[in-house]
A and B are shown apart, each in its own frame.
Chain A
């Protein structure tokens, strides 16, 4: 009967939450003669009272029944002892039944109160969980920067689950997890764990949430880091979006109670919008990078078109000049021959340029068509430094008076400009430019007093979109250095980064010096006058 009541209560209370329980409590309280809002304590003391009274009454009645035979004839009561006994026994039985019934009601009342308490607890817990989930979905909709998304997710998870430490580890490549957001043990940021190793690695491999009490066992989690074994109670859930593992979310606490299945379920539920938010932020980031790339390509195309238009003018000038000159009334056959050669050569040059342009557009690398020529790098660097100074970015130049290299002036200008921009964006003042000639090459260095570039990042920063410190919010599209590398390579040089004498970053560009071989291979300026002169004179 009791279990039947309980299930009925549960079925009724579930939809209307506490309302029906409340009504029943009031009814029972009235029957039990208690206040409308009874407490468990009041019920308990009422039950004690009731049992004491019942016990006292029954004992008294039994005593009276037992000793009633001793009553003398002087007694005023004229009742047969047998009748009296029966009456008293009946009274005792009746009172006992009454007391038992009261007791049953009081018990039911106590149970109802406990039910109500349970419902209230569950309600407040789910409210907590719900508000955290709402917060997470707000994150999905409002924050787009990946770093912010990660921070908000972690904060919400810790807040919701009373954790004091937590981390989000994201999958890098196929077999590594990196701690990208950390709270409570900041030193762990950037830590890398192999998939399958340690707690996070195991959750990433199995994609099953995990709950732990006390110190973690190294045998169960190979490769366990010491800091992971410290927390008293910890949970780790996989972050999955559309079946794809993005990483894991860790929450732990060193004081307070142990985490239970209920908490794990909450964290798991929370993981869903969190993973969606991370996926969205990544999508946004890649879209943004894509747009930056398109803008850059567009800019490069415009520049390329401008420089192409420009380059096309020179051969046209020669051709028109040659045609006009060949109309001279007095002209030797040899002179005419030279002029026809000019037309032929320049037409070939135009043809070559058109071919180059088509190739370049096929490669999707417009602008990378260096016009190699001797350039005074020292003069060029001073000019760029002057422009930079005017733009509010002072740069010190240490260079010889002149320093000739082979390269494309426009490319070189962009190389120097991009490196200066890079130094101001990621380094610190003062920024210095130095030029040293070293045998067959010239070394251009851009030095800053910033934190420098760690050895493991020194190749990566030349990759497209790579930004050394992913946490910083400074603007940048990650194309500056890749472009520098492309241009330097196109000019026949090399670019790399190492540590400067004062500890900051030192970007080095090695360019080939204009060699004697180059001078012989190309129509070099000093010979031109004689050549042209001889040609015009004939012989």
Chain B
């Protein structure tokens, strides 16, 4: 393993899963995959990935519901939302729900990798924590 960051890729598009898997593997991450929200939550519980790359529009349990459920968990992974939704409201909502970063599709693969590294290094998370300290406290105290 050698301390490779583990990333759970959640997307309902098979080709997105496939390409991201190959891309991130090549960039030194250890990816795992989920095609919808329920599997994602199960794999988060079982594997405790370092980061979740989360699509929003998915069948059955969408990204919003995954984010909402993660907010209630004691040890939640960092989440980077990756969605074709580009509205400011969506971005704000993702931040409200605890996402560390928001990437809009289609993205520059290099940007994605950089963002993932930043978040894993805690840079983006700190920035968010500064923005919403109260929310973090609240999330922690609930546990």
Of A113-121, A203-211, A321-329, which stretch is located at the interface? A321-329
* Minimum distance in angstroms from A243 CB to a CB of chain B: 56
Identify B36's interface contact among A315, A328, A525, CB under 8 A: A525
Evaluate contact between B19 and A322: CB separation under 8 angstroms.
Answer: yes
Of A171-179, A368-376, A390-398, which stretch is located at the interface? A368-376
Residues of A within 8 A of B13 (CB): 314, 317-318
Instruction: Using known A-B contacts A317-B84, A324-B110, A528-B35, determine if residue A373 contacts B59 with beta carbons closer than 8 Å.
Output: yes
Q: What 0/1 readout, one digit per residue, does chain B (84-106) give for beta carbons within 8 Å of chain A?
A: 11100000000000000000111
Q: A375 to B108, alpha carbons, bound, how many Å?
A: 30
- The answer to whether A185 has its CB under 8 Å from any CB of chain B is no
Evaluate contact between B105 and A316: CB separation under 8 angstroms.
Answer: yes
Number of interchain pairs (Cβ within 8 Å):
114
Evaluate contact between B26 and A342: CB separation under 8 angstroms.
Answer: no
Q: A376 to B60, alpha carbons, bound, how many Å?
A: 5
Interface size on A, residues (CB 8 A): 43
Closest to A318 in B: B15
- The answer to whether B12 has its CB under 8 Å from any CB of chain A is yes
Evaluate contact between A321 and B109: CB separation under 8 angstroms.
Answer: yes
Identify B107's interface contact among A317, A325, A331, A536, CB under 8 A: A317
Residues of B within 8 A of A375 (CB): 59-60
- The answer to whether A147 has its CB under 8 Å from any CB of chain B is no
Q: A342 to B12, alpha carbons, bound, how many Å?
A: 15
- The answer to whether B22 has its CB under 8 Å from any CB of chain A is yes
* Minimum distance in angstroms from A401 CB to a CB of chain B: 12
Evaluate contact between A317 and B106: CB separation under 8 angstroms.
Answer: yes
Residues of B within 8 A of A374 (CB): 59-60
Evaluate contact between B21 and A532: CB separation under 8 angstroms.
Answer: yes
- The answer to whether A479 has its CB under 8 Å from any CB of chain B is no
Closest to B21 in A: A536
Q: What 0/1 readout, one digit per residue, does chain A (352-374) give for beta carbons within 8 Å of chain B?
A: 00000000000000000000011
Q: A526 to B33, alpha carbons, bound, how many Å?
A: 10
* Minimum distance in angstroms from B25 CB to a CB of chain A: 7
- The answer to whether A339 has its CB under 8 Å from any CB of chain B is yes
- The answer to whether A320 has its CB under 8 Å from any CB of chain B is yes
Question: Secondary structure at chain B's binding surface: helix, strand, loop or mixed?
Answer: mixed
- The answer to whether A338 has its CB under 8 Å from any CB of chain B is yes
Evaluate contact between B22 and A335: CB separation under 8 angstroms.
Answer: yes
Q: A536 to B60, alpha carbons, bound, how many Å?
A: 26
* Minimum distance in angstroms from A440 CB to a CB of chain B: 19
- The answer to whether A262 has its CB under 8 Å from any CB of chain B is no
Residues of A within 8 A of B59 (CB): 373-376, 525
Evaluate contact between A532 and B39: CB separation under 8 angstroms.
Answer: no
Evaluate contact between A525 and B12: CB separation under 8 angstroms.
Answer: yes
Evaluate contact between B105 and A324: CB separation under 8 angstroms.
Answer: no
Identify B34's interface contact among A317, A335, A529, A531, CB under 8 A: A529
Select the residue from B12, B19, B108 with max chain A CB neighbours within 10 A: B19
- The answer to whether B66 has its CB under 8 Å from any CB of chain A is no
Q: A320 to B82, alpha carbons, bound, how many Å?
A: 14
Select the residue from A310, A324, A346 with max chain B CB neighbours within 10 A: A324
- The answer to whether A330 has its CB under 8 Å from any CB of chain B is yes
Q: What 0/1 readout, one digit per residue, does chain A (499-539) give for beta carbons within 8 Å of chain B?
A: 00000000000000000000000010110110111011000
* Minimum distance in angstroms from B89 CB to a CB of chain A: 13
Residues of B within 8 A of A240 (CB): none
Q: A179 to B109, alpha carbons, bound, how many Å?
A: 70
In chain A, residues 369-406, which have Cβ atoms closer than 8 Å to a Cβ of chain B?
Answer: 373-376, 402, 404
Evaluate contact between A535 and B18: CB separation under 8 angstroms.
Answer: yes
- The answer to whether A288 has its CB under 8 Å from any CB of chain B is no
- The answer to whether A225 has its CB under 8 Å from any CB of chain B is no
Binding site for B on A (CB under 8 A): 310-311, 313-326, 328-331, 335, 338-339, 342, 345-346, 373-376, 402, 404, 409, 523, 525-526, 528-529, 531-533, 535-536
Q: Can you give 11 A-B contacts (C-beta < 8 A)?
A: A311-B84, A314-B84, A322-B19, A324-B19, A324-B109, A325-B20, A325-B22, A331-B26, A376-B59, A532-B17, A533-B21
For the complex with contacts A316-B105, A322-B15, A339-B18, 14 further pairs of A-B residues with Cβ separation under 8 Å are: A314-B105, A318-B19, A320-B108, A321-B20, A322-B18, A325-B22, A342-B18, A342-B19, A345-B15, A373-B12, A375-B59, A531-B18, A536-B21, A536-B22
